[in-house]
Amino acid sequence: MATLTLTFLLLLATKLPATLAGHCTTTTATKTFEKCISLPTQQASIAWTYHPHNATLDLCFFGTFISPSGWVGWGINPDSPAQMTGSRVLIAFPDPNSGQLILLPYVLDSAVKLQKGPLLSRPLDLIRLSSSSASLYGGNMATIRNGASVQIYASVKLSSNNTKIHHVWNRGLYVQGYSPTIHPTTSIDLSSFSTFDVTSGFATVNRNNGNRALKVTHGILNAVAWGFLLPAGAVTARYLRQMQSIGPTWFYIHAAIQLTGFLLGTIGFSLGIVLGRNSPGVTYGLHRSLGIATFTAAALQTLALLFRPKTTNKFRRYWKSYHHFVGYACVVIGVVNVFQGFEVLREGRSYAKLGYCLCLSTLVGVCVAMEVNSWVVFCRKAKEEKMKRDGLTGDDRCSGGVHS
């Protein structure tokens, strides 16, 4: 039942926005706009006013710096709705001579993508830019630093029969001279583009839906397998075996849960390999390493069943020590990696993570209750054994242990 609840909560979260961006506003220190939308990555947003009589778009992009020597850019791709290459962009960064904020135009052609040479400023073509400027939030007293907010203003002439804008945005750590260097290559940075309609304000995030569905499936399988079933299997082995009334049934319950978790986890692990191959240049080092460690430990646990000595074998105690150590290590690494996976999917503040935390907390609560009960039973039995050795009877205990 708990597994079904966890799966339902994770599926529910896939219907919610993956990332909540920064709150959008239509008002700046110098201008007021008619519409605004929050962009899906980097806590960015955009506000604009569209003048249909002359097909002119006045807009303001709101972004943040990630380095005092970094850059923030916004632009339009007149050809493609889903890539940076071909975009005409405006990039704001500190002037290397004066340190003041400047805004320069750049064209992101294929040579830039292949990093054959530095990105050099040049006039924009294919889009008609009538004016542009940039300012820091906070006015003249503001400084360029990590987390500093910047506003990029632009006035663009559009085609009268086209009200959809394919726009891109990003930010980087360094500027060499007047040449911005490549931005980070996390999935967030590589998906900073979308399309919006300047008249209706409707925005479409251009993401690979198939890849997203694969990521969600990968996350659900691994959260259920490594993050819940394996810990639940460990709990059954630790506490059900103490119930003499069920005999060896505890072992079959434990093995069934662990094998189910391993099979689901193997599928999830395989999907992770496929995702890695489908995303060249995007690497989640910690998440990948923890995933490999979890799968390896689980595989060793499964193979260990084939070499399980009999209870009378002298090597049985060594096998048990190995089995316990590897098993608990697998559980801990698996749970940690589930939380790491939420960050990779940008679900760090989602209902899915909340649901998982509730399920895991319930399991931990059961463990605490069972552990307390085990110690109470153990202490009671130890006391009874001691009283038997001292020659006391049950009736003596009831009367407070007073001898006549």
Annotated binding site: 218, 254, 287, 323
Q: Which residues are annotated as a binding site for heme b?
A: 218, 254, 287, 323
- Record the tokens describing residue 60, joined without a space: 């303001």
User: If we measure between CA atoms, which residue out of 111, 92, 95 comes closest to residue 154?
Assistant: 92
Which neighbouring-strand residues pair with 308?
Answer: none
Distance separating alpha carbons of residues 153 and 90, to the nearest angstrom: 9
Put residue 73 in one of left, alpha, beta given phi > 0 → left and psi -120 to 50 → alpha.
beta
Instruction: Round to whole Å and give the CA distance between 396 and 64.
Output: 77
DSSP-assigned states of every residue in 76-145? E-SS-SS-STT-EEEEEEE-TTT--EEEEEEE--HHHHTTSS--------SSEEEEEEEEETTGGG----
CA diameter of the chain: 110
Q: Order of strands, edge to edge, in the sheet holding 149-157?
A: 35-38, 45-51, 56-64, 149-157, 128-136
Backbone region of residue 209 per phi and psi (left: phi > 0; alpha: psi in -120 to 50; beta: other values)? alpha
The crossing angle, in degrees rounded to 10, of helices 316-344 and 285-304 is 150
Q: What is the DSSP letter of 24?
A: P
Structure token digits, residue 279 = 């995303």
298 in Cβ contact with 330 (< 8 Å): yes
Give the three-class secondary structure for 68: coil
Helix count and strand count (H, E) for the chain: 10, 13
Quote the CA–CA distance of 77 and 126 in Å, as a whole number.
9
CA gap 192, 169 in Å, rounded: 6
Contact 76, 58 (CB under 8 A): no
